[in-house]
């Protein structure tokens, strides 16, 4: 099987050199087999190897090939589902535990970067911006909840004048600024975690798709899970599935809980330090509150990275680079003379309720998926939680596993048309 290269993105063009790992050939024995070489898989491999487990990680293409190496790179507090919804799903006590994990996730990024000397251009600060008055009302309500109920003090309200002094656009009327959130180069972060996992003793195989697995283990007799690949198999006590939408038919029970949606990003030519800082004077990452949102930030070499437009149809017929550039100019019309150097897209996984989907298919088979656009921070802590669970401390993992998840309606034939109709409703709502 040919290994697909990374998407032709700014991230791939500016990635640090990384070795091409071997394809698995024959049989390898280990304690834990991790499937998927994104942030979740690499974090799980790292945390497990540091605990002394023999870890094998299988990646179909290259480390960071999927969403982890293509995303907007924004590390944000909370879940994609609002806390009020999380409370309805699991109750207030469990919701508080989940919230605390998301705050720890941001601290963990900084810890991993420092401990393993991961060069990934981390920058503090993220802004959630309001376009309409109803957005502003939601921001004020969220700020009150974060401060009063969750004692989260790193976030503050920014009125119109302050927002417009920070962002060179008149599109936004207010914002929440969080100094604990931030942004980074996601591919270099993922590559750094993989290298750290290898230094801790994990084995990584690229160009190695997990086709299926046979699990003979149970609580009474032990046994082995056999993860089969094109040229061999990994035999392990535990399996951790981190492939998200790219697992496909490998685990059909998981595929029904998530859906792949395409998102797109462009990177401008280098603007120079002065012009770039005029656009975003505090160097924060920015996202707006529309359902079909825009998100943007500056790169370390003074480009604007701008993402927008989510494609739920599964079709690639529209001109994504042109559409994304048009959205960028809607925010920053002063960039009409600027060249686009890179344009790319990729699939991310969403759940029906926008909460992450963690759990077990068997006592020794764990899975992590459904990050729904909040993956930069949550994937890293998810890898730590699954390592804790395998080591015997599963309390926090099990709180996530309690979140109820329904299948996408409509089955294989109708689920995507149904989602497209739903998204049309929300797009119309954005325009009102």
Domain assignment present for residue 47? The answer is yes
Domain assignment present for residue 131? The answer is no
pTM confidence score: 0.93
169: Cβ–Cβ under 8 A, 6 or more apart, which residues? Answer: 331, 332
Nearest residue to 274 via CA among 310, 306, 298? 298
Q: What is the DSSP letter of 69?
A: G
Q: What is the pLDDT of residue 284?
A: 98
Token pair for 204: 């990584």
Nearest residue to 343 via CA among 361, 362, 324, 318? 324
Alpha carbons 47 and 54: distance in angstroms, whole number: 11
Structural domain harbouring 252: 10-70+188-257+353-410
133 close to 198: Cβ distance less than 8 angstroms: no
Q: What is the pLDDT of residue 421?
A: 45
Domain assignment present for residue 40? The answer is yes
Q: How many domains does the chain have?
A: 1
Report H helices in 128-211: 133-148, 160-166, 186-199
Domain assignment present for residue 154? The answer is no
231 close to 23: Cβ distance less than 8 angstroms: yes
Q: What is the pLDDT of residue 414?
A: 47
Nearest residue to 237 via CA among 55, 77, 401? 55
Domain assignment present for residue 113? The answer is no
168: Cβ–Cβ under 8 A, 6 or more apart, which residues? Answer: 278, 279, 280, 332, 334
Domain assignment present for residue 196? The answer is yes
Domain assignment present for residue 18? The answer is yes
How does pLDDT run along the chain (432 residues), one tens digit per residue? 678 999 999 999 999 999 999 999 999 999 999 999 999 999 999 999 999 999 999 999 999 999 999 999 999 999 999 898 999 999 999 999 999 999 999 999 999 999 999 999 999 999 999 999 999 999 999 999 999 999 999 999 999 999 999 999 999 999 999 999 999 999 999 999 999 999 999 999 999 999 998 888 654 445 689 999 999 999 999 999 999 988 887 888 898 898 888 889 999 999 999 999 999 999 999 999 986 789 999 999 999 999 986 554 454 545 788 889 999 999 999 999 999 999 998 888 889 899 999 999 999 999 999 999 889 999 999 999 999 999 999 999 999 999 999 988 765 444 555 455 444 434 444 444
129 close to 288: Cβ distance less than 8 angstroms: yes
Q: What is the pLDDT of residue 413?
A: 47
Q: How does DSSP assign 251-281, residue by residue?
A: GHHHHTTEEEEEEEEEEEPP--HHHHHHHBT
281 close to 103: Cβ distance less than 8 angstroms: no
**Total residue count of the chain as it appears in this document:** 432
In Å, what is the CA distance from 367 to each residue of 112, 205, 240, 246, 413?
A: 22, 19, 5, 13, 25
Residue 238's domain is classified under what CATH number?
Answer: 3.50.50.60
Domain assignment present for residue 124? The answer is no
């Amino acid at each position: 099987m040919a290994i697909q290269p990374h998407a032709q993105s700014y991230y791939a063009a500016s990635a640090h050199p990384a070795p091409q790992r071997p394809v698995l050939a024959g049989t390898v024995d280990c304690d834990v087999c991790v499937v998927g070489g994104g942030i979740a898989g690499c974090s799980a491999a790292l945390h497990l190897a540091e605990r002394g487990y023999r870890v094998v990680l299988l990646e179909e293409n290259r480390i960071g090939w999927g969403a982890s190496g293509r995303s907007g790179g924004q590390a944000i507090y909370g879940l994609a589902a609002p806390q009020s919804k999380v409370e309805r799903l699991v109750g207030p006590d469990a919701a508080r535990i989940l919230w605390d994990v998301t705050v720890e996730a941001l601290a963990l990024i900084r810890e991993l970067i420092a401990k393993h000397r991961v060069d990934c251009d981390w920058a503090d600060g993220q802004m959630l911006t309001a376009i309409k008055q109803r957005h502003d009302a939601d921001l004020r309500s969220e700020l009150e909840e974060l401060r009063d109920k969750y004692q989260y003090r790193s976030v503050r309200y920014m009125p119109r004048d302050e927002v417009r002094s920070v962002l060179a656009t008149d599109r936004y009327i207010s914002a929440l600024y969080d100094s604990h959130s931030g942004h980074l180069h996601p591919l270099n972060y993922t590559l750094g975690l993989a290298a750290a996992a290898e230094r801790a003793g994990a084995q990584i195989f690229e160009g190695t798709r997990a086709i299926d697995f046979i699990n003979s283990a149970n609580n009474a007799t032990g046994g082995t899970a056999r993860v089969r690949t094109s040229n061999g198999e990994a035999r392990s006590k535990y399996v951790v599935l981190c492939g998200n939408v790219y697992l496909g038919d490998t685990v059909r029970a998981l595929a029904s809980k998530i859906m792949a949606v395409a998102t797109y990003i462009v990177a401008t030519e280098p603007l120079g330090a002065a012009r770039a800082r005029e656009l975003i004077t505090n160097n924060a990452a920015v996202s707006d509150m529309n359902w079909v949102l825009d998100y943007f930030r500056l790169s370390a070499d003074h480009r604007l990275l701008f993402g927008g437009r989510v494609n739920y149809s599964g079709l690639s017929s529209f001109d994504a680079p042109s559409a994304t550039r048009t959205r960028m100019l809607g925010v920053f019309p002063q960039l009409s003379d600027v060249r686009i150097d890179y344009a790319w897209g990729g699939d991310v996984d969403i759940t029906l309720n926008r909460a992450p989907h963690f759990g077990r298919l068997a006592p020794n088979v764990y899975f992590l998926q459904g990050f729904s656009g909040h993956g930069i921070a949550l994937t890293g802590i998810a890898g730590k939680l699954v390592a804790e669970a395998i080591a015997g401390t599963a309390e926090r993992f099990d709180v996530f596993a309690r979140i109820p998840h329904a299948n996408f309606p409509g089955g294989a034939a109708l689920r995507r048309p149904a989602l497209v109709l739903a998204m049309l409703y929300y797009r119309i709502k954005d325009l009102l």
